[in-house]
Amino acid sequence: MKSLPRAWRVPATGFSFLVFGCGALVLGLVLGAWLFIRRPAPDSRVRLVRSAIRSMCKVYIGMLKGMGLLTYHYEGFDTLQSNGKLIVANHPTLLDAVFLMALIPNAAFIVKAAMANHPFTGGIARLAGYIPNNEDGIDLLENAVNALQRGDALVIFPAGTRTTGRGVKFKRGAANIAVASRCPIVPLRIRCQPATLGKNDKWYHVPPRKPHFEFYVLPEFAVQDVIDSNRPTGVQARHLNQYLETCLEPDELPGNSSAGA
Amino acid sequence: MQSEKPTREDVYQFVVRVLQEQFELDADSVNEDVDLREDLDIDSIDAVNILIELKALTNKKVAIENFHQIRTVRDLVDAVCKVINED
């Protein structure tokens, strides 16, 4: 795979960040104004905002690919067309959510409070009905269960923040949501080689070669398929959380040819 | 039926049993000084489950204000005793 030189990819990456921030802000403002004038019903409003986000993310990813900043591959997303499922993904890079926003229709995301309150992204996140992950887990649980019952595809990154490597500990929010709602769970594995845009990477730390992103939707399952659902809910959440941690370990990826060797 | 108010020791034993049964914690790992979040990995959703279970002991809804100020098992037992002795 031919890779454009870093001398190009560094400024191109900077430009992409700028486009993303401005894009989110402008999309939020334009949609906000349009919705204010037209006042569609709340249900169709959220759907409309999500499909606008989806289109913009598709364009954005197309732009990144077009500028030679990345390549990608995805599998199994046709099974996500029917909703009310909890999609649980690992979270290696900053672009994971953007890809999933482009790939999954009518998706609600559980977003960090920092993102929900950010001046650039907060407006659009609220319009799309994304659920802020605040400190009090009870609100989160209620909002998430309601979203699933409404038929949203709910996406959560249970690691809580960007992480790579093995042995990542998940927060139990995702497991608690699944136990409380009894919804189907869909694990989604994300891999990015070489690693880029991680938690401690600055935007200008572009990898030595163009990164390749992979997204695999794994078979869905029910809570009772993998754990004893007659135990107290606290025990169930712990067991399910362990299961999810194992299920999304990076080494288990299909077609992984001992990456990093 | 006239029932006596549970003693502090009753409350403590009850809390330990709830922690064991609801979260598979080892009885040896629990004492009054352990931190619920740091040492026992109890999150805010677990806390709600604990309060629900405590209803069986206190015969009334245990609403503890400022739950995030409760750090240790001792804090929790004290808070529950306070609720029991309120009336």
pLDDT given at position A251:
63
Q: Is residue A257 part of a domain?
A: no
- Domain extent for B17: 8-84
- Compute the C-alpha angle A117/A120/A121, nearest 5°: 60
Distance (Å, rounded) from C-alpha A1 to C-alpha B45? Answer: 48
Q: What is the mean pLDDT of chain B?
A: 85
pLDDT given at position B48:
84
Q: Is residue B2 part of a domain?
A: no
Do A177 and A146 touch, CB atoms closer than 8 A?
no
pLDDT given at position A53:
93
Q: What is the mean pLDDT of chain A?
A: 88
CA distance B55 to chain A (A): 16
Residue A5 has pLDDT above 60, yes or no: yes
Nearest to A232 among B21, B44, B45 (CB): B21
| Any B CB within 8 A of A232 CB | yes
| Any A CB within 8 A of B44 CB | yes
- Nearest of A147, A57, A132, A150 to residue A101 by alpha carbon: A57
Q: Is residue B1 part of a domain?
A: no
Question: What does the buried/exposed string (b/e) look like for B1-31 if buried means 16 or more CB atoms within 10 Å of the residue's CB?
Answer: eeeeebeeeebbebbbebbeebbebeeeebe
Contacts of B49 in chain A (CB under 8 A): 232-234
Q: Is residue A29 part of a domain?
A: yes
Q: Is residue A1 part of a domain?
A: no
Q: Is residue B59 part of a domain?
A: yes
Q: Is residue B61 part of a domain?
A: yes
pLDDT level of residue A3 (50, 70, 90 thresholds): low
Residue A1 has pLDDT above 70, yes or no: no
pLDDT level of residue B1 (50, 70, 90 thresholds): very low
pLDDT level of residue A71 (50, 70, 90 thresholds): very high
Do A13 and A69 touch, CB atoms closer than 8 A?
yes
Contact B49 A234 (CB under 8 A): yes
The tens digit of pLDDT for each residue in A6-33 reads 888 888 888 898 998 888 888 888 988 9
Least confident of A109-118, B1-10, B23-32: B1-10
Q: Is residue B3 part of a domain?
A: no
Q: Is residue B68 part of a domain?
A: yes
Q: Which residue is closest to B46 within chain A, CA to CA?
A: A234
Q: Which residue is closest to A134 within chain B, CA to CA?
A: B44
Contacts of B24 in chain A (CB under 8 A): 235, 238
Strands (DSSP E) contained in B20-82 are: none
Q: Is residue A261 part of a domain?
A: no
pLDDT given at position B87:
66
The domain total for chain B is: 1
pLDDT given at position A134:
76
Least confident of A38-42, A103-107, B66-70: B66-70
Q: Is residue A258 part of a domain?
A: no
Nearest to B43 among A172, A232, A233 (CB): A172
CA distance A57 to chain B (A): 34
Contact A138 B48 (CB under 8 A): yes
Contact A135 B49 (CB under 8 A): no
The CATH number linked to A76 is 3.40.1130
Residues contacting A104, CB < 8 A, separation 6+: A77, A80, A87, A153, A155
Q: Is residue B65 part of a domain?
A: yes
- Of A76 and B58, more confident: A76
Contacts of A141 in chain B (CB under 8 A): 45
The CATH number linked to B61 is 1.10.1200.10
CA distance A94 to chain B (A): 27
- Domain extent for A36: 6-252
The tens digit of pLDDT for each residue in A155-201 reads 999 998 888 877 888 999 999 999 999 999 999 999 998 888 888 88
Q: Which long-range contacts (CB under 8 A, 24 or more apart) does A7-11 make?
A: A8/A68, A9/A68, A9/A69, A9/A206, A9/A210, A10/A204, A10/A206
User: Mean of the pLDDT values across residues A84-106?
Assistant: 94
Q: Is residue A170 part of a domain?
A: yes
Nearest to A136 among B22, B44, B49 (CB): B44
CB atoms within 10 A of CB B47: 19
pLDDT level of residue A2 (50, 70, 90 thresholds): low
What percentage of chain A exceeds 70 in pLDDT?
A: 94
Q: Is residue A259 part of a domain?
A: no
Q: Which residues between 100 and 129 in chain A have a beta carbon less than 8 angstroms from any beta carbon of chain B?
A: none
Burial zone of A257 (CB within 10 Å; 0-12 exposed, 13-18 middle, 19+ buried): exposed
- Nearest of A214, A159, A174 to residue A190 by alpha carbon: A214
Q: Is residue B64 part of a domain?
A: yes
Contact B22 A235 (CB under 8 A): yes
| Any A CB within 8 A of B2 CB | no
Residue A259 has pLDDT above 50, yes or no: no
Least confident of A56-65, A160-169, A244-253: A244-253
| Any A CB within 8 A of B43 CB | yes
The domain total for chain A is: 1
User: Mean of the pLDDT values across residues B14-28?
Assistant: 90
- Of B67 and A135, more confident: B67
User: Mean of the pLDDT values across residues A233-252?
Assistant: 88
Contact B45 A136 (CB under 8 A): no
Looking at chain A, how many residues does it have? Answer: 261
Residue B3 has pLDDT above 90, yes or no: no
Residue A110 has pLDDT above 80, yes or no: yes
Distance (Å, rounded) from C-alpha A186 to C-alpha A221? Answer: 7
| Any B CB within 8 A of A141 CB | yes
Strand partners, A230: none
